[in-house]
Homo-oligomer: A and B are copies of this chain.
Amino acid sequence: MAEKQKCTMAFAPATVANVACGFDVLGFAIYGLGDRVTASFKDTPGVSIKSIIGDEGRLPLSVKENTAGLAVLSLLEELETPPKHGIELSIEKQMPLGSGLGSSAASSVAAVVAVNALLGNPFSKKNLLPFAVAGEMAASGEAHADNAAASLLGGFILVKSHRPPDVIDLPTPEKLHCTIIHPDIEIQTKNSRKILKKDVSLEKAVKQWGNLGSLIAALYTNDYELIADSLHDEIIEPVRSLLIPGFDKMKQAALDAGALGCSISGSGPSLFALSSSREAAEIIGIKMGDVLKSEGLSFEIHISKMNTEGAQIIKNTL
């Protein structure tokens, strides 16, 4: 069977969701971190996961328990003609798990992009989103499209609605850089969601939609000052930041070093800070790291421009 050796490999980037003022609706993608998934045909029917590298043995190889596996099953269900052969996936994580950087979304997105290419692209890129989101259900128990949409499409995205996922591409100002600091602790999205209150005060909700609205206006007008004025979160950050040692000091250090804004990436524990130059992004990283050093915590820093490309096929031997 000649088709057995054919494979496609996709890379899907890590992502920052929420972005301070956009809980569950905003996200953007970064460079340098993400997941690779290789898809190939196999003789036996169905989907299987051959291997997972980079997860320290923590992710399930069972397709129905794995976000990437579930995403691919969801895609296959929507095909008019089922593929003649089974599909085998190999997952290579190039980013930390439970970091707040959309690890499960990156796996789901890379898997559906790789499999779509393997099958001769029956779906457009944007139409892969519902499958990736279905995969994410396995990780958080809820379907949130913010990480998956940013990882798939790149740049800044707004999730207008989650079911079905409806996403708007927002412009990404050219000079924007992101500093990520990932403290060496882990927070499960499920737990990070449980501690949130079910209600918010109307007063704070109004402030939040003012800030979200102005951030979107700022992205369309390349207004870095307005971006800085908009990156506030009085609803989620005050609760979730309690789980992150040194959060307030790190945020202050980032702002003092010239960050446009700084908040929790997704459900944490990573923080992101935005700035308008690579130099600023690097200094911000050093200053935030100094705080964690004084807390006695180890950490990783990542500096990146906004990733405006999203998921990509990086190998195709069909």
Contacts and interface: CB of A to CB of B under 8 A. Distances in A.
Interface of A: 22-26, 158-161, 166, 168, 170, 196-203, 205-214, 216-217, 220, 226, 229-230, 235
Contacts of A230: 160
Contacts of A199: 199-202
A23 B206 contact: yes
State the copy count for this chain.
2
B217 A170 contact: yes
Given A23-B206, A200-B205, 10 more contacts: A22-B213, A23-B202, A25-B213, A26-B213, A158-B217, A159-B210, A160-B211, A160-B213, A196-B202, A202-B235
Contacts of A160: 210-211, 213-214, 229-230
Contacts of A202: 23, 196-200, 235
B210 A158 contact: yes
Point out which of A200, A203, A207, A210 has the most chain B C-beta atoms below 10 A from its C-beta. Answer: A210
B210 A25 contact: yes
A209 B207 contact: no
13 contacts: A25-B213, A26-B213, A158-B214, A160-B214, A168-B213, A168-B217, A200-B201, A200-B205, A205-B205, A209-B212, A216-B216, A216-B217, A220-B220
